Structure 1
């Protein structure tokens, strides 16, 4: 192999740089959208042509930890420099002092004006209070919140385009889970996780019954108000004819005998069932599991756990 001399190497590097720079703007934007925001902004030093290319970013990923003070202080300036819509905003807060630096309110206000469609906030320190600007993000289709809280406005009209909702350790300082969910008519996937009872976490069955397009439902069963028998599970499923996945946490549930049951329930769409914290010494609970299997002819996967230890993993092909 012939050695590459200095002039040849320079031409080779120049040609490679030209090929990248000549890519269509939408391709370059897609590449930078997959970079951490600090790396995307740093592309401005590559050349004069690259100086403002990051201004077309549509997806922002912020990972705020112990060593990210500089980027935190410049986020608002960066956001105001963006030209077009911002469809995806992913924020991860990992360190305690971040709340002293971050202006979450102004960020969410900015996003509400930029057509945000996917919002993810993972907060691993003290509960992060979100501003009411969040409820102006009417174009949202996917929202995932971890360890956040907010006041639900009295004039809340919902998220008319929301398809997936994941709420983990979310606290309502005003309003309730039920009111929030009932205002999301197109919802297809709903996941709720709380490890202990808090004010405002109870859900009335009729509040989520309006969200009849659900394909995936995951929640602690005790959050449903006035639910004391296993027959109530079948009442719940009856509201969601398109439901394909059901994940229920039976922690703290003490079921009573059902007494007179309704007619046999039938759920042809249900394919995946996951039941956690099941009391295997409770004959009522065991009877419920058998009945649920028998009433779900297309069930493919059943997972049952007792506490944190998984006891069974069953793949059902024919029943």
Structure 2
């Protein structure tokens, strides 16, 4: 029985030809002399939503430059939904200034040029990133106009990174950005909310650094019921004070980063004891700074590690900054936290060395941990650090790797000292048969 071979239809031939032309184009084997014809312009024939998606991934200056490609590309950039004037954009402006021999020209970062883009944008704006370089005082009127424009365009992600010394005052139109899902601010002042404001009902992440609040930081938190990520940077003051009760109300929180001294020392212990635990059922990552600032509170005045563990027992990843292994107050507190988190899998510690407390008593009895990976930054090789590592290795049967990186300012005296530290680490007993110790002492 003979099979019948049907001739390909016209549609099948057209699809085959288009596929062949596309493969030739991406492989570089095709003659591009006729690329300008409508049939061969693969990119231009893509749906507008695809072109916009591609252009959103380009640096904004490159996206705007596409207007010179062809007549039908003249207005493609006006469909952009993301406006990113970040540090890379600032660097581009600086390099362009140098090429034009305009060094010292104060107009190299001209917000009027940014303002000129807004009237041409046709669709919604979902993301806005603005970096203000050092030495540049932003024109307040222009900035207020931008925020007002964005509030009308349904802005969802708003980032302001102010590297200048002058604090930027946010306009009250920020409260009109009802669709906000991500808000990141640095070195600015957050205004008081109007009486009609009912909160950022869609906000998922809030990241603040050097931000002051006219009506209190907790007002913003409590009016963001869906918040999943809360970050308070402690590298620079001022740091907004936080009421623990307000944080505990955020049942969707998955990531929390804050300095311990930002929490009201009178509220935290009472809150945990009175309300009971566990709290924050979805919390998986905790970044905790133990730094001391002038006027700050001591760890022992704030909370016991046991109370913290009983409340946040579901944490899988813990990062501790400014942990002084030699401190008789801080060390027991940290030990209590680490050995009190039954589900902890990842531990990262940034050590510090403010002082050496000779009266420190080393803990002896500790239970098993579920840790898989450990990173110790700013290692100095003190006996308290080595004791901590020894205990970790003995209590972590599932451990895969522990990475130890010395502080940059710590220079071990020759190969002999490095050898002695490495030798001591190798002699520690390990509960895990697969645990690797990565000691970077270069």
TM-score band, normalised by the shorter chain? 0.7 to 0.9
CA deviation digits over 1:97-150, x for unaligned, max 9? 351487110111011111111111111112222211111111011111122222
TM-score relative to the length of structure 1: 0.83
The residue aligned with 1:255 is 299
Give the conservation status (yes or no) of the 8 Å contact 2:277–2:311. no
The secondary structure found in structure 1 opposite 2:116 is: helix
CA distance in 1, matches of 2:331, 2:277: 18
The residue aligned with 2:215 is 175
Residue 226 (structure 1) aligned with residue 270 (structure 2) = no
CA distance in 2, matches of 1:98, 1:61: 19
Cα 1:14–1:69, aligned 2, differ >3 Å: closer, same or farther? farther
CA deviation digits over 1:195-228, x for unaligned, max 9? 4554x82222222222121111001111111259
Cα 1:26–1:231, aligned 2, differ >3 Å: closer, same or farther? same
CA deviation digits over 1:206-258, x for unaligned, max 9? 22222121111001111111259989889898431221111111112423377
The secondary structure found in structure 2 opposite 1:170 is: strand
TM-score relative to the length of structure 2: 0.62
Cα 1:138–1:294, aligned 2, differ >3 Å: closer, same or farther? same
Cα 1:34–1:196, aligned 2, differ >3 Å: closer, same or farther? closer
- Which segments of 5 or more consecutive residues in structure 1 lack a partner in the other structure? 1-7
Q: Which has the higher contact order (CA 8 A, sep 6+)?
A: 1
Residue 293 (structure 1) aligned with residue 338 (structure 2) = yes
Give the conservation status (yes or no) of the 8 Å contact 2:157–2:182. yes
CA distance in 2, matches of 1:254, 1:228: 14
CA distance in 2, matches of 1:28, 1:136: 29
Residue 88 of structure 1 is aligned with which of 116, 122, 127? 127
Range that drifts further, 56-65 or 282-291: 282-291
Pairing 1:81-230 to 2, within 5 Å after superposition: 81-100=120-139, 103-126=142-165, 127-155=167-195, 156-172=197-213, 174-195=214-235, 197-198=237-238, 201-227=240-266
Cα 1:195–1:236, aligned 2, differ >3 Å: closer, same or farther? farther
Give the conservation status (yes or no) of the 8 Å contact 1:245–1:270. yes
Cα 1:232–1:92, aligned 2, differ >3 Å: closer, same or farther? same
Give the conservation status (yes or no) of the 8 Å contact 2:209–2:236. no
Range that drifts further, 79-88 or 31-40: 31-40
CA distance in 1, matches of 2:152, 2:287: 35
CA distance in 1, matches of 2:308, 2:34: 79
CA distance in 1, matches of 2:272, 2:124: 42
CA distance in 1, matches of 2:42, 2:75: 18
CA distance in 2, matches of 1:262, 1:96: 46
CA distance in 1, matches of 2:269, 2:335: 12
Give the conservation status (yes or no) of the 8 Å contact 1:244–1:271. yes
User: How many residues are matched?
Assistant: 309
The residue aligned with 1:50 is 73
Cα 1:210–1:254, aligned 2, differ >3 Å: closer, same or farther? same
CA distance in 2, matches of 1:71, 1:29: 26
Give the conservation status (yes or no) of the 8 Å contact 1:94–1:124. yes
Q: Let me know the Cα RMSD of the aligned residues.
A: 3.4
The residue aligned with 1:241 is 281
Give the conservation status (yes or no) of the 8 Å contact 1:241–1:269. yes
The residue aligned with 1:75 is 114
Give the conservation status (yes or no) of the 8 Å contact 2:276–2:311. no
CA distance in 1, matches of 2:277, 2:330: 17
Q: How far apart are 1:95 and its partner, in Å?
A: 4.1
- Which segments of 5 or more consecutive residues in structure 2 lack a partner in the other structure? 1-30, 98-106, 354-376, 380-384, 400-430, 432-442
